[in-house]
Structure 1
Amino acid sequence: MDFIKTLLEADLFQDKKIIQRYQFLKVKDETDTNIYFIEKGSVRIFMMDENEERIIRFGYSGNIIVSLDSFLSGKSSDLYIQTIKKTEVRIASKKDFYQFIHSSDEHLKLWILVLEDLVMQQLEREKDLLINSPQERFERVLKRSPQLFQEIPQKYIANYLRMSPETLSRLKKS
Protein backbone atom coordinates (compact mmCIF):
# COMPACT_ATOMS: atom_id res chain seq x y z
CA MET A 1 0.00 0.00 0.00
CA ASP A 2 1.33 3.44 -0.92
CA PHE A 3 0.40 4.82 2.48
CA ILE A 4 2.80 2.51 4.30
CA LYS A 5 5.59 3.40 1.89
CA THR A 6 4.83 7.11 2.38
CA LEU A 7 4.90 6.72 6.17
CA LEU A 8 8.21 4.86 6.07
CA GLU A 9 9.76 7.45 3.74
CA ALA A 10 8.59 10.22 6.08
CA ASP A 11 10.66 8.56 8.82
CA LEU A 12 7.80 8.71 11.33
CA PHE A 13 8.76 5.42 12.95
CA GLN A 14 11.59 6.70 15.15
CA ASP A 15 11.59 4.04 17.86
CA LYS A 16 12.29 0.37 17.38
CA LYS A 17 11.37 -2.48 19.69
CA ILE A 18 12.03 -6.22 19.68
CA ILE A 19 9.37 -8.26 21.44
CA GLN A 20 10.01 -11.90 22.27
CA ARG A 21 7.59 -14.68 21.29
CA TYR A 22 4.24 -14.63 23.18
CA GLN A 23 4.99 -11.27 24.83
CA PHE A 24 2.44 -8.45 24.85
CA LEU A 25 2.74 -5.18 22.98
CA LYS A 26 -0.53 -4.06 24.59
CA VAL A 27 -2.78 -5.52 27.29
CA LYS A 28 -6.42 -4.99 28.24
CA ASP A 29 -7.35 -1.74 30.00
CA GLU A 30 -4.23 0.00 28.70
CA THR A 31 -4.30 3.11 26.54
CA ASP A 32 -2.06 2.79 23.49
CA THR A 33 -2.03 5.52 20.86
CA ASN A 34 1.07 4.33 19.02
CA ILE A 35 1.17 3.00 15.48
CA TYR A 36 3.38 -0.02 14.84
CA PHE A 37 5.05 -1.10 11.61
CA ILE A 38 5.99 -4.77 11.73
CA GLU A 39 9.44 -5.24 10.22
CA LYS A 40 9.69 -8.90 11.12
CA GLY A 41 7.47 -11.35 12.98
CA SER A 42 3.75 -11.62 13.58
CA VAL A 43 1.12 -10.60 16.12
CA ARG A 44 -2.46 -11.33 16.96
CA ILE A 45 -4.99 -8.83 18.22
CA PHE A 46 -7.64 -10.35 20.45
CA MET A 47 -10.03 -9.79 23.30
CA MET A 48 -11.33 -12.07 26.01
CA ASP A 49 -14.94 -13.26 26.04
CA GLU A 50 -15.41 -14.75 29.49
CA ASN A 51 -12.47 -17.21 29.49
CA GLU A 52 -12.14 -17.52 25.72
CA GLU A 53 -9.86 -15.58 23.42
CA ARG A 54 -11.49 -14.02 20.36
CA ILE A 55 -8.94 -13.14 17.71
CA ILE A 56 -10.06 -10.19 15.62
CA ARG A 57 -6.98 -9.38 13.53
CA PHE A 58 -3.44 -10.41 12.68
CA GLY A 59 -0.36 -8.49 11.66
CA TYR A 60 2.86 -9.69 10.06
CA SER A 61 5.90 -8.35 8.20
CA GLY A 62 5.06 -5.25 6.22
CA ASN A 63 1.81 -4.52 8.08
CA ILE A 64 0.86 -1.59 10.23
CA ILE A 65 -1.07 -2.42 13.38
CA VAL A 66 -2.73 -0.25 15.96
CA SER A 67 -5.19 -0.61 18.81
CA LEU A 68 -7.56 1.46 16.73
CA ASP A 69 -10.18 2.09 19.41
CA SER A 70 -7.55 3.35 21.84
CA PHE A 71 -5.70 5.27 19.11
CA LEU A 72 -8.83 7.15 18.01
CA SER A 73 -10.39 7.74 21.44
CA GLY A 74 -7.28 8.16 23.60
CA LYS A 75 -8.93 5.82 26.11
CA SER A 76 -8.16 2.34 27.36
CA SER A 77 -9.16 -0.66 25.30
CA ASP A 78 -10.23 -4.27 25.84
CA LEU A 79 -7.78 -5.42 23.18
CA TYR A 80 -4.58 -7.36 23.63
CA ILE A 81 -1.76 -7.33 21.08
CA GLN A 82 0.51 -10.34 21.52
CA THR A 83 3.42 -11.57 19.45
CA ILE A 84 3.14 -15.00 17.87
CA LYS A 85 6.86 -15.17 17.22
CA LYS A 86 9.78 -12.87 17.94
CA THR A 87 8.73 -9.58 16.39
CA GLU A 88 10.50 -6.37 15.46
CA VAL A 89 8.35 -3.25 15.30
CA ARG A 90 9.00 0.37 14.51
CA ILE A 91 6.87 2.80 16.49
CA ALA A 92 5.27 6.14 15.59
CA SER A 93 3.44 8.31 18.10
CA LYS A 94 -0.07 9.59 17.44
CA LYS A 95 1.20 13.17 17.79
CA ASP A 96 3.87 12.70 15.11
CA PHE A 97 1.45 10.79 12.91
CA TYR A 98 -1.23 13.51 13.10
CA GLN A 99 1.34 16.23 12.39
CA PHE A 100 2.35 14.26 9.32
CA ILE A 101 -1.16 13.66 7.94
CA HIS A 102 -2.10 17.31 8.49
CA SER A 103 1.09 18.55 6.80
CA SER A 104 -0.39 18.22 3.30
CA ASP A 105 -3.66 17.57 1.51
CA GLU A 106 -2.10 14.51 -0.11
CA HIS A 107 -1.23 12.96 3.26
CA LEU A 108 -4.74 13.65 4.55
CA LYS A 109 -6.25 12.02 1.44
CA LEU A 110 -4.08 8.95 2.00
CA TRP A 111 -5.25 8.74 5.61
CA ILE A 112 -8.89 8.93 4.51
CA LEU A 113 -8.24 6.10 2.04
CA VAL A 114 -6.71 4.02 4.85
CA LEU A 115 -9.72 4.64 7.09
CA GLU A 116 -12.08 3.73 4.25
CA ASP A 117 -10.11 0.54 3.68
CA LEU A 118 -10.31 -0.30 7.40
CA VAL A 119 -14.09 0.17 7.34
CA MET A 120 -14.34 -2.13 4.30
CA GLN A 121 -12.14 -4.74 6.02
CA GLN A 122 -14.36 -4.56 9.08
CA LEU A 123 -17.48 -5.06 6.96
CA GLU A 124 -15.87 -8.10 5.32
CA ARG A 125 -14.97 -9.44 8.76
CA GLU A 126 -18.56 -8.98 9.97
CA LYS A 127 -19.85 -10.81 6.89
CA ASP A 128 -17.42 -13.64 7.63
CA LEU A 129 -18.78 -13.97 11.16
CA LEU A 130 -22.39 -14.04 9.95
CA ILE A 131 -21.77 -16.82 7.43
CA ASN A 132 -22.72 -20.19 8.86
CA SER A 133 -20.64 -22.36 6.59
CA PRO A 134 -17.06 -22.91 7.81
CA GLN A 135 -16.13 -23.75 4.20
CA GLU A 136 -17.31 -20.37 2.95
CA ARG A 137 -15.61 -18.48 5.81
CA PHE A 138 -12.36 -20.32 5.03
CA GLU A 139 -12.61 -19.59 1.28
CA ARG A 140 -13.38 -15.89 1.82
CA VAL A 141 -10.38 -15.40 4.11
CA LEU A 142 -8.09 -17.45 1.87
CA LYS A 143 -9.07 -15.32 -1.13
CA ARG A 144 -8.67 -12.05 0.79
CA SER A 145 -5.46 -12.89 2.68
CA PRO A 146 -3.58 -15.86 1.24
CA GLN A 147 -0.36 -14.79 3.01
CA LEU A 148 -2.13 -15.27 6.35
CA PHE A 149 -1.84 -19.03 5.91
CA GLN A 150 1.94 -18.71 5.44
CA GLU A 151 2.52 -16.42 8.42
CA ILE A 152 0.11 -17.49 11.16
CA PRO A 153 -0.21 -20.86 12.95
CA GLN A 154 -3.35 -22.82 12.12
CA LYS A 155 -4.73 -22.80 15.68
CA TYR A 156 -4.92 -18.99 15.61
CA ILE A 157 -6.50 -18.88 12.14
CA ALA A 158 -9.09 -21.41 13.32
CA ASN A 159 -9.93 -19.17 16.30
CA TYR A 160 -10.21 -16.16 13.97
CA LEU A 161 -12.55 -18.15 11.70
CA ARG A 162 -14.56 -19.38 14.73
CA MET A 163 -13.95 -23.06 14.05
CA SER A 164 -11.90 -25.88 15.52
CA PRO A 165 -8.34 -26.48 14.29
CA GLU A 166 -9.54 -29.91 13.09
CA THR A 167 -12.26 -28.34 10.92
CA LEU A 168 -9.75 -25.91 9.44
CA SER A 169 -7.35 -28.76 8.72
CA ARG A 170 -10.10 -30.69 6.89
CA LEU A 171 -11.03 -27.61 4.86
CA LYS A 172 -7.41 -26.98 3.87
CA LYS A 173 -7.08 -30.59 2.63
CA SER A 174 -10.27 -30.49 0.53
Structure 2
Amino acid sequence: MKEIIALSDQEITINRNEFLKINGSIDTNLYYIESGSVRIFILDGSDEQNIRFGYKENFVVSLDSFLTEQPSNLCIQAIKKTVLKVVTKKQIDDFLALKNNAILWVKILENLAVQQLEREIDLLKNSPKERYERVLKRSPQLFQEIPNRHIANYLRMSPETLSRLKKS
Protein backbone atom coordinates (compact mmCIF):
# COMPACT_ATOMS: atom_id res chain seq x y z
CA MET A 1 0.00 0.00 0.00
CA LYS A 2 2.81 2.41 0.79
CA GLU A 3 4.04 1.96 -2.78
CA ILE A 4 0.70 3.20 -4.14
CA ILE A 5 0.60 6.19 -1.76
CA ALA A 6 4.16 7.12 -2.74
CA LEU A 7 3.01 7.57 -6.37
CA SER A 8 1.05 10.67 -5.37
CA ASP A 9 2.52 14.04 -6.25
CA GLN A 10 -0.63 15.99 -5.46
CA GLU A 11 -2.56 16.68 -2.27
CA ILE A 12 -5.98 18.30 -2.10
CA THR A 13 -8.22 19.50 0.71
CA ILE A 14 -12.00 19.42 0.55
CA ASN A 15 -14.13 21.13 3.14
CA ARG A 16 -17.07 19.67 5.05
CA ASN A 17 -19.98 18.83 2.71
CA GLU A 18 -17.87 19.60 -0.38
CA PHE A 19 -18.00 17.05 -3.20
CA LEU A 20 -14.95 15.22 -4.49
CA LYS A 21 -17.09 13.56 -7.17
CA ILE A 22 -20.64 14.22 -8.31
CA ASN A 23 -23.26 11.98 -9.88
CA GLY A 24 -22.66 11.46 -13.61
CA SER A 25 -19.03 12.57 -13.63
CA ILE A 26 -15.88 10.68 -14.58
CA ASP A 27 -13.16 10.31 -11.96
CA THR A 28 -10.08 8.22 -12.72
CA ASN A 29 -8.18 9.05 -9.54
CA LEU A 30 -7.50 6.97 -6.48
CA TYR A 31 -7.44 8.91 -3.22
CA TYR A 32 -5.63 8.21 0.03
CA ILE A 33 -7.11 9.94 3.06
CA GLU A 34 -4.50 11.71 5.17
CA SER A 35 -7.11 13.16 7.53
CA GLY A 36 -10.86 13.64 7.66
CA SER A 37 -13.64 11.44 6.34
CA VAL A 38 -15.83 11.01 3.28
CA ARG A 39 -18.92 9.12 2.30
CA ILE A 40 -19.61 7.42 -1.01
CA PHE A 41 -23.27 7.33 -1.92
CA ILE A 42 -25.76 7.05 -4.73
CA LEU A 43 -28.91 9.02 -5.34
CA ASP A 44 -32.13 7.00 -5.47
CA GLY A 45 -34.63 9.57 -6.64
CA SER A 46 -34.38 12.24 -3.97
CA ASP A 47 -32.95 9.81 -1.40
CA GLU A 48 -29.26 9.27 -0.75
CA GLN A 49 -27.94 5.78 0.02
CA ASN A 50 -24.51 5.52 1.63
CA ILE A 51 -22.55 2.57 0.31
CA ARG A 52 -19.05 3.20 1.70
CA PHE A 53 -17.07 5.44 3.98
CA GLY A 54 -13.47 6.47 4.03
CA TYR A 55 -11.41 7.93 6.83
CA LYS A 56 -7.77 8.37 7.83
CA GLU A 57 -5.44 5.86 6.13
CA ASN A 58 -8.14 4.53 3.76
CA PHE A 59 -8.20 4.52 -0.01
CA VAL A 60 -11.35 5.77 -1.73
CA VAL A 61 -12.21 5.55 -5.39
CA SER A 62 -15.17 5.63 -7.71
CA LEU A 63 -14.10 2.17 -8.83
CA ASP A 64 -16.49 1.81 -11.76
CA SER A 65 -15.40 5.15 -13.25
CA PHE A 66 -11.73 4.49 -12.45
CA LEU A 67 -11.76 1.14 -14.27
CA THR A 68 -13.96 2.06 -17.24
CA GLU A 69 -13.15 5.76 -17.60
CA GLN A 70 -16.89 6.33 -17.97
CA PRO A 71 -19.35 8.43 -15.93
CA SER A 72 -20.47 6.95 -12.63
CA ASN A 73 -23.54 7.43 -10.46
CA LEU A 74 -21.39 7.48 -7.33
CA CYS A 75 -20.98 10.67 -5.32
CA ILE A 76 -18.09 11.27 -2.92
CA GLN A 77 -18.62 13.97 -0.30
CA ALA A 78 -16.56 15.15 2.66
CA ILE A 79 -18.17 14.52 6.04
CA LYS A 80 -15.58 16.80 7.60
CA LYS A 81 -12.59 18.69 6.26
CA THR A 82 -10.52 16.05 4.46
CA VAL A 83 -6.97 16.02 3.14
CA LEU A 84 -6.35 13.53 0.34
CA LYS A 85 -3.36 12.38 -1.65
CA VAL A 86 -4.29 11.97 -5.32
CA VAL A 87 -2.98 9.06 -7.40
CA THR A 88 -3.92 9.23 -11.07
CA LYS A 89 -4.82 6.27 -13.24
CA LYS A 90 -1.74 6.99 -15.37
CA GLN A 91 0.50 6.85 -12.31
CA ILE A 92 -1.02 3.50 -11.37
CA ASP A 93 -0.80 2.17 -14.93
CA ASP A 94 2.89 3.16 -15.09
CA PHE A 95 3.47 1.52 -11.70
CA LEU A 96 1.72 -1.68 -12.82
CA ALA A 97 3.90 -1.87 -15.92
CA LEU A 98 6.87 -2.52 -13.64
CA LYS A 99 7.70 -6.10 -12.69
CA ASN A 100 5.72 -7.66 -9.80
CA ASN A 101 3.66 -4.54 -9.06
CA ALA A 102 0.50 -6.04 -10.51
CA ILE A 103 0.36 -8.45 -7.56
CA LEU A 104 -0.08 -5.56 -5.11
CA TRP A 105 -2.83 -4.02 -7.24
CA VAL A 106 -4.67 -7.33 -7.47
CA LYS A 107 -4.55 -7.62 -3.67
CA ILE A 108 -6.07 -4.14 -3.32
CA LEU A 109 -8.86 -4.99 -5.78
CA GLU A 110 -9.49 -8.36 -4.11
CA ASN A 111 -9.82 -6.63 -0.74
CA LEU A 112 -12.36 -4.16 -2.18
CA ALA A 113 -14.35 -7.01 -3.77
CA VAL A 114 -14.46 -9.01 -0.53
CA GLN A 115 -15.57 -5.96 1.48
CA GLN A 116 -18.35 -5.26 -1.02
CA LEU A 117 -19.52 -8.88 -1.02
CA GLU A 118 -19.62 -8.95 2.80
CA ARG A 119 -21.76 -5.80 2.79
CA GLU A 120 -24.17 -7.20 0.20
CA ILE A 121 -24.60 -10.42 2.18
CA ASP A 122 -25.18 -8.41 5.38
CA LEU A 123 -27.93 -6.37 3.75
CA LEU A 124 -29.66 -9.37 2.19
CA LYS A 125 -29.38 -11.86 4.97
CA ASN A 126 -28.89 -10.32 8.39
CA SER A 127 -31.16 -8.52 10.84
CA PRO A 128 -30.41 -4.90 11.77
CA LYS A 129 -28.79 -6.10 15.02
CA GLU A 130 -26.55 -8.54 13.13
CA ARG A 131 -25.60 -5.86 10.58
CA TYR A 132 -24.69 -3.47 13.40
CA GLU A 133 -22.62 -6.09 15.23
CA ARG A 134 -20.75 -7.16 12.08
CA VAL A 135 -19.87 -3.57 11.14
CA LEU A 136 -18.83 -2.81 14.72
CA LYS A 137 -16.53 -5.85 14.70
CA ARG A 138 -15.17 -5.21 11.19
CA SER A 139 -14.72 -1.43 11.48
CA PRO A 140 -14.90 -0.13 15.06
CA GLN A 141 -13.21 3.12 13.99
CA LEU A 142 -16.24 3.86 11.81
CA PHE A 143 -18.24 4.77 14.93
CA GLN A 144 -15.61 7.33 15.98
CA GLU A 145 -15.26 8.92 12.53
CA ILE A 146 -18.73 8.90 10.98
CA PRO A 147 -21.96 10.52 12.27
CA ASN A 148 -24.68 8.10 13.37
CA ARG A 149 -27.16 9.30 10.76
CA HIS A 150 -24.78 8.26 7.97
CA ILE A 151 -24.03 4.91 9.63
CA ALA A 152 -27.76 4.23 10.05
CA ASN A 153 -28.33 4.98 6.36
CA TYR A 154 -25.43 2.69 5.42
CA LEU A 155 -26.87 -0.10 7.56
CA ARG A 156 -30.34 0.49 6.08
CA MET A 157 -32.00 1.32 9.39
CA SER A 158 -33.42 4.38 11.09
CA PRO A 159 -31.18 6.50 13.32
CA GLU A 160 -33.47 5.53 16.21
CA THR A 161 -32.89 1.80 15.59
CA LEU A 162 -29.14 2.36 15.50
CA SER A 163 -29.33 4.33 18.74
CA ARG A 164 -31.26 1.50 20.44
CA LEU A 165 -28.75 -1.08 19.20
CA LYS A 166 -25.81 0.96 20.46
CA LYS A 167 -27.41 1.23 23.92
CA SER A 168 -28.08 -2.53 24.22
TM-score calculated relative to the size of structure 2? 0.97
Correspondence for 2:78 among 74, 77, 83: 83
Distance in 2 (CA, whole Å) between partners of 1:135 and 1:112 is 33
Q: In the alignment, which residue of structure 2 is the partner of 1:171?
A: 165
* 1:140 corresponds to 2:134: yes
* 1:7 corresponds to 2:1: no
SS in 2 for 1:83: strand
Matches within 5 A, 1:3-42: 3=1, 5-8=2-5, 11-42=6-37
Q: List gaps (5 residues or longer) in structure 1.
A: none
SS in 1 for 2:41: strand
> Cα distance, 1:133 vs. partner?
1.1
**2:121 maps to amino acid:** K
Q: Which runs of 4+ in 1 moved over 2 A?
A: none
The aligned length equals 168
**2:131 maps to amino acid:** R
1:48/1:54 contact within 8 Å kept: yes
After superposition, the C-alpha distances for 1:146-167 in whole angstroms (9 at most, x for unaligned) are 1111110000000000000110
> Cα distance, 1:27 vs. partner?
0.1
> Cα distance, 1:135 vs. partner?
0.3
* 1:129 corresponds to 2:123: yes
Q: List gaps (5 residues or longer) in structure 2.
A: none
> Cα distance, 1:104 vs. partner?
1.8
Distance in 2 (CA, whole Å) between partners of 1:132 and 1:104 is 42
Correspondence for 1:62 among 57, 66, 87: 57
After superposition, the C-alpha distances for 1:64-121 in whole angstroms (9 at most, x for unaligned) are 110000000000000100000001011011001111122121x111111111111111
**1:34 maps to amino acid:** N
Query: What value does the CA root-mean-square deviation take over the aligned residues?
Result: 0.9
Q: In the alignment, which residue of structure 2 is the partner of 1:109?
A: 103
Distance in 1 (CA, whole Å) between partners of 2:150 and 2:18 is 16
Distance in 2 (CA, whole Å) between partners of 1:116 and 1:25 is 24
1:131/1:137 contact within 8 Å kept: no
**1:39 maps to amino acid:** E
Distance in 2 (CA, whole Å) between partners of 1:110 and 1:132 is 32
TM-score calculated relative to the size of structure 1? 0.94
After superposition, the C-alpha distances for 1:128-151 in whole angstroms (9 at most, x for unaligned) are 110351100101111111111111
Correspondence for 1:48 among 36, 39, 43: 43
**2:139 maps to amino acid:** S
